[in-house]
Amino acid sequence: MLDTVPPETRLRARAHHVARWAGLAAGVVAASQVATVGDLGVGILYAIPAFGLCAVGGVLLGDALTPRPQEAVRTAGLAPRRVPDYLPPRMARLLLGQAALLVVLLTAAAAVASPDDLGRAGRSLSAACQGTTESAGPWPGLYYGLPVLLSLALGSAACGWALRRIAHRPGEEQQRRDRALAITAAWGLLVAVPLAGTAVTAAGSLSRLTCDGLPGTAGQWLLYPVGLVALVTALWCLCTVAAPRAIRR
């Protein structure tokens, strides 16, 4: 059986795989550079969205390099394409729940945070009992929470735009779903990694206090499982960005 597909078309059709991996590689380089910016670990908070946005860029580059359908007569359904139609429902619900939990945790942490020993606001947690005051840190108050929220807002806007572009671009339905899955997973990295870091950091600070009593103990028991689930989600999202079709299977 003769292969009637032109070589250049075949190469372009495969180019999105190379572009996706190039985006991941660029994300590693960008994250390693951004992580050194600032002090006290703030750079790491910006390294996460840098990696995620590079991953999104790789998916979009691959989408742009994929040839459009060349049929003389094309057909299309009358129903308009909507972004929610291409989102993976289970992953989307999980990530939206984790995003809401991240915002709640950061808001609560900011409300009870206190300055550290050098006066930097929102970087420590203090508790008083029996005439003494204890402090523990680092604590995910505004010092760390504000960069996380800004990064999440920027990443959400970029991923939303990318999903809209993919949904309305001509092409095969399965390609749209695969790329929408990859974009969703890239956004998931922007959610799950900070959530894991926030939960584990807060739980660690609570464990170093003795004046927090039962609320502190209960907080630790709640936060460590949240961090574990978020870490597993982050690994799942990373694998999905690299190979969305394999994950779908």
Residue 207 has which token pair?
């464990």
Q: What are phi and psi of 3, to 5 degrees?
A: -90, 110
Dump pLDDT digits (tens) for 40-98. Answer: 677 777 888 888 888 888 888 877 776 655 554 445 554 566 777 888 889 999 999 99
Dump pLDDT digits (tens) for 175-193. Answer: 788 888 988 998 999 899 9
Report DSSP letters for 12-47, one per residue: HHHHHHHHHHHHHHHHHHHHHHHTTSSSTTHHHHHH
**Measuring CA to CA, which residue among 92, 193, 88, 205 is closest to residue 151?**
193
Q: Which residue has the higher pLDDT, 66 or 228?
A: 228
> Which pLDDT band, with edges at 50, 70 and 90, does 226 fall under?
very high
Q: What is the DSSP letter of 122?
A: T
Dump pLDDT digits (tens) for 124-182. Answer: 888 887 778 888 878 888 888 898 898 899 889 988 888 888 888 776 787 788 888 98
* Residue 212 pLDDT greater than 80, yes or no: no
What gap in Å lies between CA 167 and CA 243, rounded to an integer? 19
What gap in Å lies between CA 222 and CA 116, rounded to an integer? 25
Residue 173 has which token pair?
């339905």
Query: What 3-state class would DSSP assign to 115?
Result: coil
* Residue 4 pLDDT greater than 70, yes or no: no
Tracing tokens 């006066």 back to the chain, one arrives at 119
